[in-house]
Structure 1
Amino acid sequence: MTTRHHITAGFLPLLDSALLVVAREKGFAEAQSVELTLVRERSWATIRDRLAVSHFDVAHILAPMPIACNLGLSAPAPKMVVPMALGLGGNAVTVSAALWDAMAKCGATDDLDARASGAALRRVIDRRNEETLRFGVVHPYSAHNYELRYWLAASGIDPDREIEIVVLPPPDMGDALAAGLIDGYCAGEPWNTFGVLKRSAHLATVKAAIWKSSPEKVLGVNARWSEGHPEALHALLRALYSASLWCAEPQNHGELANLLAGPSYVARPAELLLPALRGVLPIGAGQTRVVTDFFVPNAKAATFPWKSHALWFYTQMVRWHQVEHTAEHQNIAGGTYRPDIYRNAMRSLGVALPSASAKVEGALRTETPVGSSGALTLGPDGFFDGSLFDPDDITTYIAAQLGQ
């Protein structure tokens, strides 16, 4: 008799909850004998708290948050593992119409180029005699916060002195922008599209331009549950991988948008979800731009939990003075992402897997076939300013970012 696995997962109403939603609604979880219960929450803090007290076994969660929990930076802090990413990309930097107008007069272009928009924002700040610009992010331990800060700093803007960064729930970003409470924000979809179509905002740049092929949300797993239920976790990972293949097919995007639009999930009109799924983004003033790698659910090893991703997030925690750099902290951060669990779960599916567990971020300038257990193409990856992150030389990287 086949063992049935009962798993409860928390999620936020965002496009990148798609793999969990599809695993449940399209039968991929059932095919792996998983009875998957999905529970929608409003804030990342609640997701973290309910993982800590075992209300959830797993969750759709910010990619850096499990690392912060394991480092003791976020309380209550469940010990967590990340055995899978839930896709690459998916967020953007959105600004008010007034700020975009000022940036456009200072050289910003409508091609979402991170370098041009960052340089323009630098000029805007130089010319302003008003109060400090305020940007929203969804959590201090989020890819949004670190990538926004990276973009600002690489554009010559000090995000601690020249910009005010505040924390808001994703669904509140567009309304806060329209009310003049913030001047811009970095958030996941559909909240950038919502800002553009419903709140007269403008896209300044996208995650896929700031750090190509980078993770946004991951599957966060209560470590105690993981240790006690390895077969259930493996079954869930296989279901989510099958869901990622389904999500990646263009012919499924209309159905996927309708699924996510349902009242139990994102609960927003499908037309706000389709642009990101199709990679044809409204950017403001009635214009659209094609960004084919805006959200990648399966290609380029999109679900593989790279240790180099975890370690880059760790370097940003150090850079922005959230944690001290020590060998122990580095080991905890790198050990949070678990490609070994992913590999064990995928073995029976015959999935093409990376042969390494970490890579130099920024080394692949084009799509590149790589050595693996099967046919696999990675890249392009890396940062808009052309820098490299070598996970084997973290101390040097941190020192360079701190200007030491």
Structure 2
Amino acid sequence: MTHIASNGPEALEKAHLRIGFVALSDAAPLIAAKVLEFGHRHGLTLELCRQPSWAAVRDKLISGEIDCAHALYGLVYGVELGIGGPRDEMAVLMVLNRNGQAITLSSRLAGALDAEGDLKAALATLGRPPVFAQTFPTGTHALWLYYWLAMHGVNPREQIESVVIPPPRMVDALEAGTLDGFCAGEPWHAVAEARGAGQTVIATSEIWPDHPEKVLACRRAFVERYPATARALVRTMLEACRWVDAPGHRDEISHWLAKPDALDVPRDLIAPRLVGREGGKRFKDAPLPVAFFGGGAVNYPRVSEGRWFLAQYRRWGLLREAEVPASHDEAIAARINQTALYCEAAAMVDPSWPLPDEAAHVDTFCDDAIRR
């Protein structure tokens, strides 16, 4: 194998990488990495490949058409387990962002919620099973939606119709009346409100504050074949995440996100929620903003987060104990989440960065559930 010279301390096995992304505001670090060419100092050239859906991201990762991707955390785990689709051995290199997602209801249903004061009663006013959209069957948006519905006494596997729609098409479906609500990332909630199609009723940071969301994903075969390249890519994306989080840069990145080859959405619908100035018309105060770096605290791929996704799959009947015993969850998450590689790459960017103490970490959810 030919090794390629790098500006960093390692020679790379592969210099040109094709990186997939979906049109969402939290693709900001990838857009910044390409526009500012952060990869060049690490010997990498990045080619961004916009994808129409998360299913396309999955299929092109598996086929090798793209090397890595901005991906739903839960997509990676779903593919690893072969839930509802093709299976492959997957890897999470780092977390790209936390928070920044939401649930929007149609204007009709939001009005019924105000009148009834109870979600279950509001859904009953429809006179039919409600239709909610999420972006991938095992993805984060499906799990945030199911968690929120269950908290309000609605069984998401029996009392609603759950459909998969790519994020850019959700507002059209809401406007057409074929959808009663959706869970996705921004800027599509802002677009729905601007078009009068719906209202954002909850931010996902209210369900699980500082929850993990998108990750930098690839097949494990990529890590095994190109370990130095994988470390260089993590270093590149850490620098991009740090840049996006710096004061003033979120407004700047909004200009690039608005361009036709990125989100193709007006900047004034992207910036307010990306920057954290607002969360929607119903919010008196903006919810926790999307976080990309936070001094490095955002990006560590905790094994405990992977265990949470596996537990949710069991909760909703997507994964059977007889197929994958819960006793295997720690090992599965440890295989997927490349914590050692992440630590090596982070130390090469800044040896002084403190690494998280996973054993001491505690998350508290909106219903007072606790995850360690």
Name the TM-score, length of structure 1 as normaliser: 0.84
User: Who is 2:214 aligned against?
Assistant: 217
User: Who is 2:223 aligned against?
Assistant: 226
Preserved CA contact (<8 Å) 1:48 1:77: no
Query: Is residue 316 of structure 1 aligned with residue 316 of structure 2?
Result: no
- TM-superposed CA distance for 1:337, in Å, is 1.4
- TM-superposed CA distance for 1:102, in Å, is 0.8
User: Who is 1:299 aligned against?
Assistant: 294
Aligned pairs (5 A) from 1:42-191: 42-107=52-117, 120-125=118-123, 127-128=124-125, 130-191=127-188
- TM-superposed CA distance for 1:141, in Å, is 1.0
- TM-superposed CA distance for 1:159, in Å, is 1.1
User: Who is 2:365 aligned against?
Assistant: 383
- TM-superposed CA distance for 1:329, in Å, is 5.2
SS of residue paired to 1:212: coil
- TM-superposed CA distance for 1:288, in Å, is 5.5
- TM-superposed CA distance for 1:74, in Å, is 4.6
Query: Is residue 242 of structure 1 aligned with residue 243 of structure 2?
Result: no
- TM-superposed CA distance for 1:76, in Å, is 2.8
- TM-superposed CA distance for 1:129, in Å, is 6.5
Amino acid paired to 2:31: V
User: Who is 1:352 aligned against?
Assistant: 353
Preserved CA contact (<8 Å) 1:92 1:207: yes
Q: Deviations 1:118-154 (Å, cap 9, x if unpaired)?
A: xx212323x5360111111011111111111111112
Quick one: structure 1 residues 141 and 359, their matched pair in 2 at CA, closer, same or farther if it must change by over 3 Å?
farther
Quick one: structure 1 residues 142 and 151, their matched pair in 2 at CA, closer, same or farther if it must change by over 3 Å?
same
CA distance in 2, matches of 1:82, 1:289: 36
Q: Deviations 1:32-89 (Å, cap 9, x if unpaired)?
A: 1111111011011111111111111111111011111111225332311101011101
SS of residue paired to 2:69: strand
CA distance in 2, matches of 1:389, 1:341: 25
SS of residue paired to 2:163: strand
Which segments of 5 or more consecutive residues in structure 2 lack a partner in the other structure?
none
CA distance in 2, matches of 1:357, 1:335: 16
Preserved CA contact (<8 Å) 1:171 1:191: yes
Quick one: structure 1 residues 98 and 353, their matched pair in 2 at CA, closer, same or farther if it must change by over 3 Å?
same
Quick one: structure 1 residues 142 and 358, their matched pair in 2 at CA, closer, same or farther if it must change by over 3 Å?
farther
CA distance in 2, matches of 1:321, 1:338: 27
Aligned pairs (5 A) from 1:259-338: 259-281=256-278, 283-284=280-281, 289-291=284-286, 293-299=288-294, 301-325=297-321, 326=325, 327-328=327-328, 331-338=331-338
- TM-superposed CA distance for 1:281, in Å, is 2.6
- TM-superposed CA distance for 1:289, in Å, is 4.2
**Percent identity for Structure 1 against Structure 2:** 30
CA distance in 2, matches of 1:340, 1:246: 24
CA distance in 1, matches of 2:195, 2:369: 36
Amino acid paired to 2:244: C
CA distance in 1, matches of 2:158, 2:59: 31
- Count of matched residue positions in the alignment of Structure 1 and Structure 2: 356
Amino acid paired to 1:91: Q
Preserved CA contact (<8 Å) 2:131 2:160: yes
SS of residue paired to 1:38: strand
SS of residue paired to 1:250: coil
Quick one: structure 1 residues 343 and 276, their matched pair in 2 at CA, closer, same or farther if it must change by over 3 Å?
same
User: Who is 1:196 aligned against?
Assistant: 193
CA distance in 1, matches of 2:262, 2:359: 33
User: Who is 1:376 aligned against?
Assistant: none
CA distance in 2, matches of 1:344, 1:86: 17
SS of residue paired to 2:104: strand
CA distance in 1, matches of 2:112, 2:85: 40
- TM-superposed CA distance for 1:198, in Å, is 1.7
Name whichever of 165-174 and 353-362 sits farther off: 353-362
Name the TM-score, length of structure 2 as normaliser: 0.91
- TM-superposed CA distance for 1:105, in Å, is 1.5
Amino acid paired to 1:236: L
Amino acid paired to 2:79: C
SS of residue paired to 1:193: helix
- TM-superposed CA distance for 1:358, in Å, is 5.4
User: Who is 1:32 aligned against?
Assistant: 42
Amino acid paired to 2:276: G
- TM-superposed CA distance for 1:282, in Å, is 5.3
Preserved CA contact (<8 Å) 1:339 1:357: no
Preserved CA contact (<8 Å) 2:347 2:353: no
Preserved CA contact (<8 Å) 1:6 1:35: yes
CA distance in 2, matches of 1:140, 1:101: 28
Preserved CA contact (<8 Å) 2:134 2:163: yes
CA distance in 1, matches of 2:126, 2:104: 22
Which segments of 5 or more consecutive residues in structure 1 lack a partner in the other structure?
108-119, 363-381, 391-404
